[in-house]
Amino acid sequence: MVDRAELIDRLKRLKKIVWGALALVFLFGFALGGVVAFLTKTPEGTIARGVSIGPFDVGGLSPDQAAQLLSTQTAAMEDRGIVFRFDDASIELASSIDSATNSELAVTIFKYAPEKALDAATSFGHAGTWGVKAWQRIAARLVGKSIPLEVKVDSARVQEFLRSHFGKFETPFQETSIDVSIDGAKIPHVKINPGKPGVMFVYETVTSVFANHLAKFDYSPTILKLETVSPKITPRQAQEVTPSILALFESGDITLRYGDSTFVVKPSEYAGWFGIALNNGKVIPLLRQEQARATLAHFIATFEQPVQESRFKKEGDRVVEFQTPREGRTIDMQETLLRIEKALFTQSERNIDVATVVQKPIIDASHTDNLGIKELLGKAMTRFMGSPKNRRTNIAVGAASLNGLLIAPGEEFSVVKALGTIDKTTGYLPELVIKENKTTPEFGGGLCQVSTTVFRAVLDAVLPVTERSSHAYRVSYYEPAGKDATIYSPKPDFKFLNDTAHYILIQTRVEGDAITVEFWGTKDGRTAWQSDSQIYNMVPPPPSKLIETTNIPVGVKKCTEKAHSGADAIFTYSITYSDGRVNKRQFFSRYKPWGEVCLVGIEKQKDPAFDELKGP
């Protein structure tokens, strides 16, 4: 049995242990708190430590400092370009393909877009609850937070560029194929074209490596490698399928039907539709859809009818319709070709019903009072004083294409899609573009005036932008720099979102030297703030360039565009919704320097481009 003295002694020792433990817990908590405070400490207005954008550490920098760092690094990459190499042959691809006389028509090949990465870096460790912010800052300090830097690459133009410069090193590959024809006695014949091996570049892979170099800021050349490609079908295999192809002609004509209309395709017309393919090791006949579509093109053109949407305008307090809606009708070619294929290869009924798709107008014009078009949401006006005649025409045609359109709630609006076909059939006029010492007429000059005005109206109407690209060069019509939006069908595009609960009506007008874009709808209490463009990294223009042309009198010198300095520009755009949500982003623009371009008249020679420009 424990006596009283021993019990008291044990209690004293236990008390010391408890106090010691409490002291250790306190010290540990104090130390842990210090560590947490150290790891989470981020000065106000700076990016959390440990955050990087691409290969660049931006932790501890202000958003402006981070933007400056990225601007400097990306400018160096864009100015330098990327070298492609095969054996001893090499070529450098610049970040843009220039129109020698018009900076507005320059085409961007690749371009860094740091806005989203900057927004993500700025908000990381600064948004959400205290716990979320602390956890993000600690994680960034301990393991880092890497945010990818977006690079926009026009893969199609990259591959076109590579084919034009390296195609001469390839030996074209040819798969074994067949040609089917009908002779004068209406007897079908099958000619077999033996395949030939070739050596080819896999341009898709090269383009992927190129994009990866850009993302990693890797200046090393992108190496092209030839690969041997051999035919997979032998002439003997093709010969074995010939009897089954000849048998397909025994049933004669194909008749396509829609209502009371019919279109007859004779064997001599569909003979060229047949080809062969390898399927699970066996050669089978197939329908070559491209050839079939070409044969049916005339029928499609006479049959199809595009949908016509309602167009509206504001008259006082009412929204009135000035273009009546009309249903559209298109042929579902994929389904129709499947029906043709089934009829041919199964020897079934050759009277085929055409598959159609009826497109109904989006807006029911009978409910204009319920659209919610009550007040002006925002507008913008830009000027184009000094523009040539063709550019003025294109601006007017483009503006008219947008006028009266309605944007549904939740709809992402695409300017390129809304403009539709951009060529002489829709009223556009070409401008003379000189590329690689060749003169060609090119459509689209002036449409960026429309898209830029739409961009500025979107900002004024407090709507979110979902896709925007700046021009490759500064354009005088859009000064001050930083708030322009280039378009070039199909890309780049300018898009924005109607995230209001009501329809938005677009109204455009061209008066004198100005274009105005207005958005009408219902305000919902949101507000916006945008900063002025910060312009920096100024680069002086290169020397003037003289280009010989036959489009002006001999000996006459005509300077088409003045020099522009290169520069970077950035501005902030913030939307605050009525419920307190904030949508904040930065728009970054990079402009290359543009030297003055002058045309010098020389002796006139035959140039088809000028004939097209002059017209009949």
Confidence at 17, pLDDT banded by 50, 70, 90? confident
Tens digit of each residue's pLDDT (9 = 90 or more) over 354-387: 898 887 776 655 555 567 788 899 999 999 998 8
Q: Which residue carries 């660049």 as its tokens?
A: 56
Confidence at 310, pLDDT banded by 50, 70, 90? low
pLDDT number for residue 318: 56
Task: Read off the pLDDT of each residue in 20-25 and give the average, rounded to a whole number.
Answer: 70
Q: In this structure, what token pair is assigned to residue 209?
A: 């490596």
Question: Residue 129 to residues 124, 126, 584: CA-CA distances in angstroms?
Answer: 12, 9, 18
Cβ neighbors of 125 (< 8 A, separation 6 or more) are 40, 42, 48, 51, 133, 136, 137, 140
Assign residue 106 a region: left if phi > 0, alpha if psi is -120 to 50, beta otherwise? Answer: beta
Residue of 612, 610, 599 lying closest to 99 (CA atoms): 599
Most trustworthy range by pLDDT among 58-67, 419-428, 454-463: 454-463
What percent of the chain stands above pLDDT 90? 39
pLDDT number for residue 437: 44
Backbone phi and psi for residue 510, each to the nearest 5 degrees, phi listed first: -120, 120
Tens digit of each residue's pLDDT (9 = 90 or more) over 494-553: 999 999 999 999 999 999 999 999 999 999 999 999 999 999 888 898 888 887 877 778
Question: Residue 223 to residues 167, 446, 490: CA-CA distances in angstroms?
Answer: 14, 39, 29
Handedness of CA 164, 165, 166, 171 (dihedral sign): positive
The residue among 125 and 493 whose pLDDT is bigger is: 493
Q: Which residue carries 């070619």 as its tokens?
A: 333
- Give the range among 10-24, 378-392, 597-611 with minimum mean pLDDT: 597-611
Tens digit of each residue's pLDDT (9 = 90 or more) over 215-228: 889 989 999 999 99
- Give the range among 264-268, 482-486, 488-492 with minimum mean pLDDT: 488-492
Residue of 257, 127, 36, 103 lying closest to 594 (CA atoms): 103
Instruction: In whole angstroms, give the CA distance from residue 49 to residue 394.
Output: 50
pLDDT number for residue 444: 79
Paired sense of beta strands 545-549 and 597-601, if any: parallel
Confidence at 416, pLDDT banded by 50, 70, 90? very high
Q: Are 38 and 55 in contact (CB under 8 A)?
A: no
The CA-CA-CA angle for residues 216, 167, 165, to 5°, reads 60
Task: Read off the pLDDT of each residue in 383-401 and give the average, rounded to a whole number.
Answer: 92
Question: Residue 26 to residues 16, 21, 22, 206: CA-CA distances in angstroms?
Answer: 15, 8, 6, 60
Paired strand residues for 519: 378, 506
Paired sense of beta strands 107-108 and 261-265, if any: unpaired
Tens digit of each residue's pLDDT (9 = 90 or more) over 171-221: 999 999 999 998 877 888 999 999 999 999 999 999 999 999 998 899 899
- Give the range among 103-112, 345-354, 588-597 with minimum mean pLDDT: 103-112
pLDDT number for residue 609: 45
